[in-house]
Chain A
Amino acid sequence: MVDPFPLPVSGVSEPTLSDLLVQVARGDENAFAGLYDRMVAPVHGLARRVVRDPARAEEITQEVFLQVWRTASRFQPERGSARSWLLTLAHRRAVDVVRHDQASTNREARYDWSGGRDTDVVDDEVTMRLEHEQVRRCLGSLTELQREAVTLAYYGGYTYGEVSSLLAVNPATIKTRMRDGLIRLRDCLGVTR
């Protein structure tokens, strides 16, 4: 597997994200700055992808990093990687924001978008924006339904119920496709623990 984030080659090995997070939990501001520098682009990019509004995405980025600063002591290295921990917080926050905003406008509108917002267009946009060749290739290896279920939820912030309405597919099927889509993606990307 190709490491998508090769560390700079130098005599001194850089601390891992997990090391940095442990130091952050002890109040180390330099470690926090290091963590920010290494993780801000995916956090901000993800937030922007989900909420679409650049100003909101910046707010979310700031909130997520402050949450990391406050709650770093909750990170348990044996339960998962530091990168995933942080991006999970970021995704939850972005999804909360987009759902809250949506709820305060007209939640129902989301269910009626089949005419207005073509899911194929969403999918295309996602695919086009993907910078990472391997991720794009692996998303391409999913069935159409798996790919739509995974990307509408992850990049679109939709619940499986909403995905089910958008695609006019039974909710139980969507849940299953989300899981088997992730399995295929995991295997294609060579994610192992």
Chain B
Amino acid sequence: MNVELHVMVGAYTLDALEEREQIAFEAHLAGCPMCAGELAEFQDTAARLANAVAVAPPPQLRATVLDAAARTTQERPVVQLHQGSRWRQRLPMLVAAAAVLGVLGAVGAYIGEHDRLTDLREADVREAAVIAADDAVLSEIRQGDTSVKVFSSDQMDEAVVVMAGVPPLEQSRDYQMWAVPAKGDPRSLAVVDSDDVATSGSTLVGSLDNAQMLAVTVEPDGGSPLPTRQPVLSVQLG
């Protein structure tokens, strides 16, 4: 069990974590039934703290709320698909690792001590460090089920691209990622096989320099020196 993350369950219940730690804890929670049990009990406990300060609002609020609800569309239930592609399982660990690294800062010491992290490849640790960097910027695009998230850190001079829901390609094709500057040619960042995207989902791509956009194209096997097609996805970098 990851003790550092587990102890956060109290602060998490009280909404007292910083946003990044909150995300990390939620990722940890997904794989920790014990934490989920403790959290549920803590939330019931916190609910008692709320009950203790209960005060009815002015009565006219009732009609306002009920009228507003009658005019508000409800979210449709989410249908759970059990595809279980592996990147989905790996990502929470990565994010959790990122937060731990960010919070504790002691990368080397931590990896030695906690078995959960020893499974991570070196690249995972670097990816985690980029995501956790103080200056990390997240740019994101979503089209239907497909999403691309780009975490970039000037400090680390690296970026991590996380793709999800990307369709598989035929054998003779690969996805290629490009840093697109305001002026000049796109620069290749990485060539990824669509199977790899399905298994790993995250790719460490080095520096984005001053790229305005990150674009993904479908290229012949092994990639091309310059894009040969229109991008299938592009993300404006913030």
Mark A residues whose CB is within 8 Å of B: 4-5, 25, 27, 29, 32-33, 36-37, 40-46, 48-49, 57-58, 61-62, 65-66, 69-74, 79-81, 83-84, 87-88, 90-92, 95, 129-132, 134-136, 150-151, 153-155, 157-161, 163, 174-182, 185-186, 189, 191-193
Contact = CB atoms under 8 A, between A and B. Distances in A.
Given A88-B43, A192-B41, A132 B51 contact: yes
A56 to B, nearest CB: 12
6 A-B pairs with least C-beta separation: A179-B10, A178-B10, A153-B14, A132-B52, A45-B55, A41-B54
Given A62-B64, A79-B40, A176-B7, A4 B74 contact: no
A83 B54 CA distance: 13
B81 interface: no
Contacts of B55: 41, 44-45, 48
A43 B42 CA distance: 17
B72 A130 contact: no
Given A91-B15, A178-B10, A155 B44 contact: no
- Interface of A: prevailing SS: helix
B68 to A, nearest CB: 6
B52 A135 contact: yes
Contacts of A33: 62, 66
Contacts of A44: 54-57, 61
Contacts of B70: 29
B109 to A, nearest CB: 15
A150 B14 contact: yes
A79 B73 CA distance: 25
Contacts of B68: 62, 66
B66 A36 contact: yes
Interface of B: 7-11, 13-18, 36-37, 39-58, 61-62, 64-66, 68-70, 72-78
Given A153-B16, A178-B11, A131 B54 contact: yes
Nearest to B18: A159
Given A44-B57, A70-B75, A175-B7, A161 B18 contact: yes
A134 to B, nearest CB: 8
Contacts of B49: 135, 150-151, 154-155, 185
B108 to A, nearest CB: 19
Given A32-B69, A131-B52, A185 B45 contact: yes
Contacts of A182: 10, 13-14, 42, 45-46
A65 B75 contact: no
Contact of A186 (B42, B62, B76, B78): B42
A66 B18 contact: no
Nearest to B60: A58
**Residue of B40, B52, B57, B70 most packed against chain A (CB within 10 A):** B52
Contacts of B57: 40-41, 44, 57-58, 61
Contact of B69 (A49, A69, A130): A69
16 contacts: A32-B69, A33-B66, A40-B56, A45-B54, A61-B61, A66-B69, A69-B72, A79-B40, A80-B44, A88-B46, A134-B48, A151-B49, A159-B17, A160-B17, A175-B7, A178-B11
Given A32-B69, A178-B16, A179-B9, A130 B52 contact: yes
